[in-house]
Structure 1
Amino acid sequence: MFKLLAKSLFGSSNERYVKSIGKIVNEINALEPQLQELSDDELRAQTDKFRAQLEDGKTLDDILPEAFATVREASVRVLGMRHFDVQMVGGIVLHRGEIAEMRTGEGKTLVATLATYLNAIEGKGVHVVTVNDYLARRDAEWMGRLHQFLGLTIGVIVPNLNEMERRDAYGADITYGTNNEFGFDYLRDNMKHERGQMVQRPFNFAVIDEVDSILIDEARTPLIISGPTEDKSDLYVSIDAIVKDLDPEWYDADEKTKNITWTEEGTDAIEEKLKEAGLLETDNLYDVENTQVVHHLDQALKANIMFKKDTDYIVKDEKVVIIDEFTGRMMDGRRWSNGLHQAVEAKEGVKIEPENQTLASITFQNYFRMYPKLSGMTGTAATEAAEFWDIYKMNVVEIPTNVPVQRIDEDDEFYKNTLDKFAAIAKAIREKNEIGQPVLVGTVSIEKSELLSQFLEKEGVAHEVLNARQHEREAHIVAQAGRPGAVTIATNMAGRGTDIQLGGNVEFRVEEELADMPEGPEREAAIAKIKEEVAAEREKVLASGGLFVLGTERHESRRIDNQLRGRAGRQGDPGLSRFYLCLEDDLLRIFGPDTLFARMMNSNLEDGEAIGSKWLSKAIETAQKKVEARNYEIRKQVVQYDDVMNDQRKVIYEQRAEIMDSEAVDDVVVDMRHDAINAIVAENCPPGSYPEQWNVEGLKTRLDEAFGMSFPLEDWLEEDQIEPEIIEERILAEANGRMDAKIANADPGLWRRIEKSLLLQELDHQWKEHLSTLDALRQVVWLRAHAQKQPINEYKQEAFALFQRMLDNLREDVTAKLLRIELAEPAPLPEVELPELPDFLTGHIDPLTGADNSADGDGSESRADLFGSLAGSPRAAASPGGASSHDNPFADMEISRNAPCPCGSGSKYKHCHGSVGAKA
């Protein structure tokens, strides 16, 4: 009560903060008249003026008012749009590294131009992150005109670009791209073997569009780069056959977490079945020898029980295709991880593709936290404000609308079952359709979309169904969803980034209807006619009540419901929203309080009858809060586990960068040799022990296995006062002697390249194996909770020990390979070449649900397992026809042979102009 009283007197903290920004907006407005008097060239020169001011010691905050005023004036001239004052407030919020919550239709895309321009002036690069490739291209082309007018360069990161195109895009002042592409490029860069091959610059500032979707919805889904492992198709088929024959009483399924646990009876029964099939190594199901079988068994059970055809996936062209739970789109080329996709393939009887092994991985939390300054914008963030602050230290600021919202949000209607609900929905849509009111229907799955489509067909209502279509097609349909009588069925997220304008969208209609008409008076007349039709249709829609947004089900998150509602009532337009619910909805069935079911089922609710009450709405909101809290805990847990790996990842990636930047790594190699020998001696001759306690045979065996060298250990032991340190020194001296002799007979430049290449190869190999081990550890460590232990603490301890073991293995393997390597007779100017890099798979995989939201499966280049041919290969033979070096325009440039050719062909230099005139 006292809070409400104080708020009425002083306003909320958000309102006070926005009001304080108003002073800066007044400064910007005051500069508008003088900027209007500038010519285009003078306005463009403002950018150089600002750069000079920054060099003289001014800060971005000092030049902000004039820079924002410059962008506003340039926008009027280039785009024909003038930033509202509330958009200026949004731009300031973005510049300060906060989240601007702005309603749909308030022009968030235009708001971003303010902060991106100001921060791009420094020349350190600004990233604008979007949710899909279509929006990245669209925004770069649309807003890029404004930035280019002011003298800035624009880049776009989308799938299937070659390395040179990516490097150029990242070198631009402002770079547009998807969250997945930015993340995958970071991982790819840290798998390269030369600094010149890397495409990204150091992180500076990022603006994330639809920040809630990227940092919340997809945040529990790590980005993964993987490569194939051995084929286990027979094992999947065998286990699937066993799972399909199980008694449901043998396991407990939890729909909330999508986890399945065995009952005691079930454990005994499954052991017997696996023994009969000859799949168990030992009699006990949970012996360590049976770990792989248990893992595949769990995945097969999850695939058969928890993952539903036509809801979680479809079978298309004899392939299992994932359905995105948020958008309802088919995700061709995307696969679930940890053998789940193979288990579903076995379930459906289609070809089983091989599993993949993780080569590199990072979560969005840890990727985006690397930016020194991070900001975002969305229509709905307030309900997740606590998470944004806890994880990203980003404050959510609610920006007031330019015009008061006129939309009416009606109470939910509640029905007994799904068929009654959908019949009522179809009837309501028909009624609105008859009066010319456009309807946007939000569903939660393809199955529900198709069911509603059948009901509408019976009612004779023409409609569009959006699910699993391309972004471009979606945008065109959603843009026209505001025309009179239009009925559009879409998943809750469909059409994001495209306004639904009442009466239709002029630009989209011109693009569709006049695409083939040449410029001229006839085209101008046709455009004028379309504008008149849109204006007339807008008046008709306004008279019918504006856009009617109808939700067929409450989403797990209130934020997603608000996003759907926000499609209506843009820029002061009238609108209406209503949700239809029933007892069979997943939200209420899984998460609703039991008392809700009891009271409803015991009531005298007739078939087809609807009820609505504040008590029901409150119960639903309570259920949504429970799910939101659970999902937050899941995401927080993902962060906790990835934080452990992130500390190790930083160490590995920093070491890789140092190695790549070093001319020679001989000092590192020598230290590794010393540490490796020290570890082997300490293992078999513990410090402080007596010689008779030493494992001499074990030491000889280890030295021979590791280094291929034998030592007179028995002779040394006959000496008086022999110590482990003396043994270690002698072994090291002999190893150093062998290495010195080998180096003396080799070309110094060649040997430096061999050491550097081998060190990077072995580091990548050990890191890959370490990631695989951590994946397995994360899958099983939660079982230790039964022993009253904290899984995350156990994971930290185990992960640290595994990291130490990885470093020990790295030292030993590098030492062993260098000691064993044999060089052929030196050829003139020999060169170590990196092997061709094979394709790999990119994945964005939810560790709990298996959902994959990868940006692409385009098979961009990665590094291989680079063992073999360490001495390199001779340079390429001269090109046919005996071309001279004068045929290579880049001959005088110092270009790495493995770098992209400067001609822009996309091929490596050594396979393009670098092969011209090469010496034999």
Structure 2
Amino acid sequence: MGAFDWFWKAMGAQADRNDKKSKTVVDNSREATASLAALDDAAVTQAARESVQEGVIADKSTFLAALAVASERKLGMHPFHVQSQAVLRLLEGDVIQMATGEGKTLVGAMAATGFALTGKRVHLITVNDYLAARDAEWMRPLVEFFGLTVSSVTEKLGPEQRREAYRADIVYAPVNEVGFDVLRDNQITDRSQTVQAPADVALVDEADSVLVDEALVPLVLAGNRPGEAPTGHITNVVARLREGLDYQISEDGRTVHLTEPGAARVEKELGLDSLYSEDNIGTVLVKVNLALHAKALLIRDIHYIVVDGKLQLIDASRGRVADLQRWPDGLQAAVEAKEGLEVSEGGRILDTITLQELMRRYPVVCGMTGTAVEATEQLTQFYGLGVSVIDRNKELRRFDEADRIFATAEDKNRAIVEEIVELHSTGQPVLVGTHDVAESEALAEVLQERGIEVNVLNAKNDAEEARIVAEAGDVGRVTVSTQMAGRGTDIKLGGADEADRAAVVERGGLAVIGTSRHRTARLDNQLRGRAGRQGDPGLSVFFVSLDDDVVRQGGEDESLSVQPSPDGRVDSKRVSDFVAHCQRVTEGQLLEIHSQTWKYNQLLADQRVIIDERRAQLLDTDKAWEELSQRAPERAAELEHLDKDVRVAAAREIMLYHLDLSWADHLELMDDVRESIHLRAIARETPLTEYHRIAVREFKDVAQRAVEDSVTTFREALIDAQGVHMEDAGLARPSATWTYMVSDNPLTGSGNSVVSGIGNIFR
């Protein structure tokens, strides 16, 4: 047995032992629940608090029983035994896998309450504002039963409201809002401006999405600075370039480059001798490449939409508008110019943090999702987390049909339409999972032409997503959804009120159709999981073509000969095995991308810790005044007549300004290095090693440069009874800041509609 096999076997054995212990505790809690049920609220609360000793749950059975009684009384929900088991595993710091519809919302609230009763503040991390606000209010009676406080943080809250919300024992908040508040708190110049209160636990809902799919997405805080964009003449020139002749797109759809004829054409139309001359390579060529990337790789209604004259990015992992996502400034401006929109103001990055780095700041991380097992390797490698699989309360009755594989996308899309028409004719509700907005709308249009009313859930109408998803299980309902839009909302058979439940059960329950395989089986299983909730009947089937992205990219270096039937279907175990192989290859590619990106990010994360410690020292002590006084004693003497608090505050503001500026310069420099580091391979150097070497070398100058610049400002800036006049010295902080997420998710892809032709894929 290899070392790797031994490791996973040991991990499995440990998980089995933990599960057995949890089940024993849950079994013992039944008797305790019956006893506590006879007591009043105060006595139940007292029993819960007495089961905790010195911050540790000593009597777990009584503890669970108290939570169960409170849930029954305040929410009318009696936890299943498997839910109580899930609570225990969360309290042990695991990521739990619970199937869709098994009650993760209650489990999360019970576990959060448990952590809070041990004296820990909990951030219950959600994927969007809607779920944060909904779940906080829904679970409020349970939390407050034990004398604890609960709140939610959403985008609309101002600083004072956020400050108050973060003081609660349990805070429900979208992951991006938590991250942005961390970044904003890293820009304060006085501790009283802090918004967040320290938290001990991150309990992550949809953990695979936050901890894996979007873990490397950077959250960015930017400040205003006039930006340059490839507008005007360059945009017009690039718009006329022809694919295959003037430029070529890579096989994976991620990169594009000019051909020699293309470069010559651009040079001629711009009146340049050479795009690659020293004068042009860092300016004109950059703008040409940005415009080319915008033209060739970023497709309207797939990667972004235009609403009311504004560019809105689409979050490919959920198929919804990403209100706070933005491409790096030059690329954002290039797409805006391409669409003829007003080009937004450019800026500089003040600070940035990835979701992975954000999560690693919490002493305890745990989470829950419907698909954790497939992400075990990532959760263990990057967070040191274990995975516990929680049994279903009722046996699964969903039928998962084998993939239907077709030779071409055209054959596949035709078959999808016919299958939906057939299912709809029986009254069975159908949920179709597509990969992008254009695909969902093209399919809906064709179905409507066939006389089928369709509810389309995509990035253009996400405000309605909860209502649409809740009704997706009604008789005869056809819902077309981009990816996993609507996660967190149950699809109940017979509609939200289950009025027609019996009729839907008779027709076989909800049928889920996937229009192609994802690059990881975990995302397929997320879609499957929308059917078969709580022992309901259901059906799932995926349609695959040999033209699909996952097959083309996973089988890039392999050839396959097939003999399709007249309708284009390929019914062969060999082909089915090949498709599965292709998906495993793309899963491996994604893990490698994650691993490599993590290695690049980790050094900057370690450097950030040093900056954070320095910032805290300057904020919480008189260190700034002491250092500047030592380095410029003559200036310090001139200021002795001022009140000490004024002097200290002035020195603090100066040193924090230059520390933040120096860090921002470092981030900008390392971003530039990252963009070109692959060229080191040409010189037989290891890119990652070189990146680390440069990062370490440059970071040595960050603190020193900040101190030297601070001394200069201390000597030259006007400092009086009102403090230091930074603006008069031309050193004001940005008058406007904004936050956004850089769309840099390795799970995103060009989508099959790019390959097949937008608006024509279901014809």
Q: Return the TM-score normalized by structure 1.
A: 0.76
Distance 1:492 1:851, change over 3 A: closer
Q: Which moved more, 1:31-40 or 1:333-342?
A: 333-342
Distance 1:408 1:327, change over 3 A: same
Say if 2:113 is the partner of 1:117: yes
3-state secondary structure, aligned to 2:480: strand
* C-alpha contact 1:340 1:850 (8 A) present in aligned 2: no
Q: Percent identity?
A: 36
Counterpart position of 2:565: 605
Displacement of 1:469 in angstroms is 4.8
1:534-683 → structure 2 map (5 Å cutoff) = 534-535=498-499, 537-593=500-556, 595=558, 598-600=560-562, 603=563, 605-606=565-566, 608-663=567-622, 665-670=624-629, 673=631
3-state secondary structure, aligned to 2:660: helix
- Unmatched 5+ residue regions in structure 2? 727-731, 750-763
Displacement of 1:463 in angstroms is 1.9
Say if 2:342 is the partner of 1:342: no
Distance 1:740 1:42, change over 3 A: closer
Match of 1:805 among 693, 701, 706: 701
Counterpart position of 1:359: 350
1:495-506 → structure 2 map (5 Å cutoff) = 495-506=486-497
Say if 2:236 is the partner of 1:241: yes
Distance 1:488 1:156, change over 3 A: same
* C-alpha contact 2:551 2:583 (8 A) present in aligned 1: no
Provide the rounded CA distance (Å) in 2 between the counterparts of 1:168 and 1:75.
26
Displacement of 1:251 in angstroms is 4.7
Say if 2:43 is the partner of 1:42: yes
Say if 2:388 is the partner of 1:404: no
Say if 2:165 is the partner of 1:169: yes
Q: Which moved more, 1:246-255 or 1:210-219?
A: 246-255
Provide the rounded CA distance (Å) in 1 between the counterparts of 2:725 and 2:46.
47
Provide the rounded CA distance (Å) in 1 between the counterparts of 2:172 and 2:590.
29
Displacement of 1:654 in angstroms is 1.2
Say if 2:201 is the partner of 1:304: no
Amino acid at match of 1:200: Q
Distance 1:308 1:414, change over 3 A: same
3-state secondary structure, aligned to 1:339: helix
Distance 1:405 1:851, change over 3 A: closer
Provide the rounded CA distance (Å) in 2 between the counterparts of 1:424 and 1:232.
48
The structure having more radius of gyration, on CA atoms, is 1
Counterpart position of 2:679: 783
Q: Deviation string for 1:762-807 (max 9, x for gaps)?
A: 2122222222222212111221111111212111111122222222
Distance 1:749 1:19, change over 3 A: closer
Provide the rounded CA distance (Å) in 2 between the counterparts of 1:128 and 1:306.
36
Provide the rounded CA distance (Å) in 2 between the counterparts of 1:107 and 1:470.
27
Amino acid at match of 2:597: V
3-state secondary structure, aligned to 2:123: strand
Provide the rounded CA distance (Å) in 1 between the counterparts of 2:179 and 2:156.
15
Q: How many residues align?
A: 739
Amino acid at match of 1:483: D
* C-alpha contact 2:213 2:747 (8 A) present in aligned 1: no
Counterpart position of 1:20: 21
Displacement of 1:174 in angstroms is 0.4
Amino acid at match of 2:742: I
Counterpart position of 1:67: 63
Q: Which moved more, 1:161-170 or 1:41-50?
A: 41-50
Q: Deviation string for 1:615-636 (max 9, x for gaps)?
A: 2222222111222222222222
Distance 1:212 1:555, change over 3 A: same
Q: Deviation string for 1:804-832 (max 9, x for gaps)?
A: 222232122111122223556x6xxx456
Say if 2:149 is the partner of 1:153: yes
Displacement of 1:183 in angstroms is 0.7
Provide the rounded CA distance (Å) in 2 between the counterparts of 1:636 and 1:849.
11
Q: Which moved more, 1:431-440 or 1:579-588?
A: 579-588
- Alignment RMSD, CA only? 2.9
Amino acid at match of 1:582: S
Distance 1:227 1:150, change over 3 A: same
Distance 1:541 1:287, change over 3 A: same
* C-alpha contact 2:95 2:387 (8 A) present in aligned 1: yes
Provide the rounded CA distance (Å) in 2 between the counterparts of 1:647 and 1:574.
50
Counterpart position of 2:741: 844
Provide the rounded CA distance (Å) in 1 between the counterparts of 2:621 and 2:747.
41
Provide the rounded CA distance (Å) in 1 between the counterparts of 2:575 and 2:665.
52
3-state secondary structure, aligned to 1:207: strand
Displacement of 1:226 in angstroms is 0.7
Say if 2:179 is the partner of 1:183: yes
Displacement of 1:550 in angstroms is 1.0
Say if 2:190 is the partner of 1:227: no
Counterpart position of 1:716: none
Distance 1:329 1:549, change over 3 A: same
3-state secondary structure, aligned to 1:374: strand
Provide the rounded CA distance (Å) in 2 between the counterparts of 1:297 and 1:848.
24
Amino acid at match of 1:223: L
3-state secondary structure, aligned to 1:358: strand
Distance 1:740 1:424, change over 3 A: closer
Displacement of 1:160 in angstroms is 2.3
Say if 2:690 is the partner of 1:774: no
Q: Which moved more, 1:21-30 or 1:558-567?
A: 21-30
Q: Deviation string for 1:351-384 (max 9, x for gaps)?
A: 2223221111011111101111100100012112
Displacement of 1:321 in angstroms is 2.5
Q: Return the TM-score normalized by structure 2.
A: 0.91
Displacement of 1:262 in angstroms is 5.1
Q: Deviation string for 1:652-684 (max 9, x for gaps)?
A: 11111111111453322245x3xxxxxxxxxxx
Displacement of 1:133 in angstroms is 0.6
* C-alpha contact 1:416 1:605 (8 A) present in aligned 2: no
- Unmatched 5+ residue regions in structure 1? 507-533, 674-734, 853-920
* C-alpha contact 1:442 1:491 (8 A) present in aligned 2: yes
Provide the rounded CA distance (Å) in 2 between the counterparts of 1:664 and 1:584.
63
* C-alpha contact 1:126 1:206 (8 A) present in aligned 2: yes
* C-alpha contact 1:203 1:370 (8 A) present in aligned 2: no
Amino acid at match of 1:809: R
Provide the rounded CA distance (Å) in 1 between the counterparts of 2:746 and 2:687.
20
Distance 1:218 1:740, change over 3 A: closer
Counterpart position of 2:270: 277
Provide the rounded CA distance (Å) in 2 between the counterparts of 1:751 and 1:578.
70
Amino acid at match of 2:285: V
Counterpart position of 1:759: 655
Displacement of 1:98 in angstroms is 1.0
Provide the rounded CA distance (Å) in 2 between the counterparts of 1:370 and 1:756.
25
Counterpart position of 1:517: none
Q: Deviation string for 1:514-573 (max 9, x for gaps)?
A: xxxxxxxxxxxxxxxxxxxx45x2111111111111111111121111011111111111
Distance 1:593 1:831, change over 3 A: closer
Amino acid at match of 2:233: S
Provide the rounded CA distance (Å) in 2 between the counterparts of 1:117 and 1:387.
28
Distance 1:836 1:45, change over 3 A: farther
Match of 1:379 among 349, 370, 389: 370
Displacement of 1:388 in angstroms is 0.7
Distance 1:481 1:394, change over 3 A: same
Q: Which moved more, 1:300-309 or 1:740-749?
A: 740-749
Say if 2:450 is the partner of 1:463: no
Counterpart position of 1:32: 33
Amino acid at match of 1:807: A
Displacement of 1:13 in angstroms is 6.2
* C-alpha contact 1:763 1:810 (8 A) present in aligned 2: yes
Provide the rounded CA distance (Å) in 1 between the counterparts of 2:555 and 2:687.
29
Distance 1:365 1:257, change over 3 A: farther
* C-alpha contact 2:406 2:570 (8 A) present in aligned 1: yes
Displacement of 1:585 in angstroms is 2.3
